[in-house]
Amino acid sequence: MILGVGCVLFSDEGFGIHVVKKLENVCEFPENVSLVDGGVLGLNLLGVISEADHLIVVDAIRNNGKPGDLYRLESDAIPNRIRAKNSLHQVDFLEALTMCQALDKVPETVILGVEPLDIETLSIELTPTTRVKIDQMIEMVLSELDRLGVSFNRKEAMDNVSCNPI
């Protein structure tokens, strides 16, 4: 499962959603791969994520880096990095991931993120700093799929496809 999370109403906060929407337009995946717009559902994603064997999450992550920095978090690094975030959906998402343990169905999880420039301005547009990172993030997602042995087909060149989720 490839899960984009965030709120598209607050500029860079919607980065994960923009990435998943563009990924839907540029690649075809086998039936066992789901692309999910998780928005800010947090705990409500429990049922969805507990069905996955492998979970690739795309989000904006404040990690004390420079805006536009890209991150890959896995295993023990995930809770430590998300606990200190400013976004409530990240805290709820971590709780949903933790609750999967009670169901004895914790997917192997990797979080891919970008350091946002602005997650407070009411705007459906990403800042130029993060918008230019979408294609690079898509390549990171596709690399994760390669690592898992998942095949996919590119439908068209990424630079010809808009990433506006609205």
The span from the CA of 72 to the CA of 57, in Å, is 10
- φ, ψ of residue 6 to 5 degrees: the values are 135, 175
For the whole model, what pTM was predicted?
Answer: 0.84
Full pLDDT tens readout for the chain, 166 residues: 999 998 899 999 999 999 999 999 999 999 999 999 988 776 677 778 888 899 999 999 888 899 999 999 887 766 554 544 455 455 466 666 666 666 667 788 899 999 999 999 999 999 999 999 999 999 999 999 999 999 999 886 665 554 444 3
Residue 165 resides in a domain? no
Report the CATH number that the domain containing residue 34 is assigned in CATH: 3.40.50.1450
**What pLDDT is attached to residue 84?**
46
Structural domain including 24 reads: 2-160
Residue 65 resides in a domain? yes
Residue 80 resides in a domain? yes
Residue 166 resides in a domain? no
How many domains does the structure of the chain reveal? 1
Q: By CB neighbour count within 10 A (0-12 exposed, 13-18 middle, 19+ buried), where does 53 fall?
A: exposed
Residue 116 resides in a domain? yes
**What pLDDT is attached to residue 62?**
85
**What pLDDT is attached to residue 90?**
54
